[in-house]
Amino acid sequence: MSLLLRKVRVVSEEGPPSGETDVLVEEGVYRAIAPGLEAPQGAREIDGRGRLLMPAMFDAHVHFREPGGEAKEDIASGSEAAINGGVTGVVMMPNTTPSIDTGSVVKMVLDKAAQVSRIPVHTSGCVSKGREGREMAAIDSMRALGVRMLTDDGDSTGDTSLLLRAMQYASEFGMFFASHCEVPELAGPRALNEGQVSYELGIKGSPACAEEIIIDRDIRLAHAAGAHIHIQHVSTALGMETIRWWKERGDVRVTAEVSPHHLMFIDEDIGDYDTHYKMNPPLRTRADNEALLEALKAGVFDLIATDHAPHTPFEKAQDFTVAPNGITGLETALVSLHDRFVSRGELGWDVVVKRYSAEPRRMMGLEAVPVVEGGTAEFLLFDPAAETTFSRDFMQSKAENTPFLDKTLKGRVDLVALAGEVLLER
């Protein structure tokens, strides 16, 4: 199939969008990029005026709940939600039931993904058996099936000695470690940030130091082991500053991610116990958000990742203290980043493409997918002047636990293609 995209503006990680140009896609490859291209016989032409052509996104932190939690989400619905948001590759977290802690479970997940998903689905593996922090997981059998990321996400790895030994062992094979940073004894019920809002709502909060202590601990362990450590979903300014300090030292490989919700929402948004704003780590303060956004622009954060965490409406309708933590993000991330930051001049498209498309792929040992002649045509078309209403009918995820439910935001993903095949078109 040949596609000729007319008068699009190309977005890259290198700088602002280009002027209007034509882009010819043939056999899944960008054959030519120039104004005024002649359409080959049989090519389908798409009017791209006013729209942006950019590499498709890649999300390195999602929860598809399969195996064991298919009522919340499964690989089929999760991957369709990804496509709906302009994402053509994901990395699943291993806190499933059973946990993804052996080669046999990895194979089960990857085989299912090959059957039901229209996009590549990668999976991480556990550091410890059952994520219990007591015994090392079957790391080598997972590595043999392509697992690169090891994490006990959902919790920190409890046994420091075990984590150090795992780092020393697995780093020899090019694997790296991703850390959910939380001291459970300090985090309490994990309901919301400890501060004025938790006091007013009468709920015990989780202090920022519960996260910050483990950020420093795990980077120090990686330093000792010579390992690559990736810090997940950072929510506090001081935690970010710790990461910056270690990066500036330059003697340990540290990467880090920030989630859109920790840039956009604060603890005050919880209002009258709205569980759509309950997540882990919890929403912090406006000062934290502002510091995280500046750190994203400065490159302290390598990745944007959604921590897509679906739950059933019944679960989220429970009392605030017992409702599960989590927010969906695959379908809302790109549009909300545009609505809240790009359209207001607070963030450039180059930052979004670098941090939510190129760098996540590179961290996973994959090639980035820039829009360049000869490159693989894995892209999306984005209309910044259109709007998206995140209704239940619009969303492909089984879950609807997002603060954006039934809200209309500026921007729309109009087309998504993988290797030149159109996966979505509005």
CATH of the domain at 29: 2.30.40.10
Q: Are 352 and 403 in a shared domain?
A: no
Q: Are 356 and 391 in a shared domain?
A: no
Q: Are 281 and 313 in a shared domain?
A: yes
- Given 363, 395, 414, the domain boundary residue is 363
Residue 355 included in any domain: yes
pLDDT attached to residue 350? 98
Residue 164 included in any domain: yes
Q: What is the CATH number of the domain that holds 275?
A: 3.20.20.140
Q: Are 282 and 320 in a shared domain?
A: yes
Q: Are 123 and 172 in a shared domain?
A: yes
Return the amino acid letter for 422.
V
pLDDT attached to residue 380? 98
pTM, 2 dp: 0.97
Distances (CA, A) of 323 to 170, 185, 313: 36, 19, 10
pLDDT attached to residue 363? 98
Q: Are 116 and 214 in a shared domain?
A: yes
| Number of folded domains that form the chain | 2
pLDDT attached to residue 188? 77
Residue 368 included in any domain: no
Q: Would you tell me how many other CB atoms lie within 10 Å of the CB of residue 268? A: 15
What confidence tens digit (pLDDT) does each residue in 307-339 have?
999 999 999 999 999 999 999 999 999 999 999
- Given 310, 330, 363, the domain boundary residue is 363
Residue 131 included in any domain: yes
Distances (CA, A) of 16 to 52, 207, 344, 354: 11, 39, 15, 12
Q: Are 36 and 69 in a shared domain?
A: no
Return the amino acid letter for 13.
E
Residue 149 included in any domain: yes
Tell the burial category of 251 from Cβ atoms under 10 Å away from its Cβ (0-12, 13-18, 19+).
exposed
Cα-Cα end-to-end distance for the chain: 19
Tokens of 396: 């492909």
Tokens of 264: 């956009």
pLDDT attached to residue 39? 94
Q: Are 277 and 316 in a shared domain?
A: yes
Q: Are 131 and 97 in a shared domain?
A: yes
Q: Are 186 and 62 in a shared domain?
A: yes
Q: Are 148 and 246 in a shared domain?
A: yes
pLDDT attached to residue 420? 84
- Given 339, 363, 387, the domain boundary residue is 363
The catalytic residues are 307
Residue 125 included in any domain: yes
Torsion of CA 17, 23, 26, 31, to 10 degrees: -90
pLDDT attached to residue 1? 75
Residue 150 included in any domain: yes
pLDDT attached to residue 254? 98
Residue 270 included in any domain: yes
Segments in the chain below pLDDT 50: none
Return the amino acid letter for 57.
M
Which domain, by its residues, includes 182?
56-363
Q: Are 265 and 162 in a shared domain?
A: yes
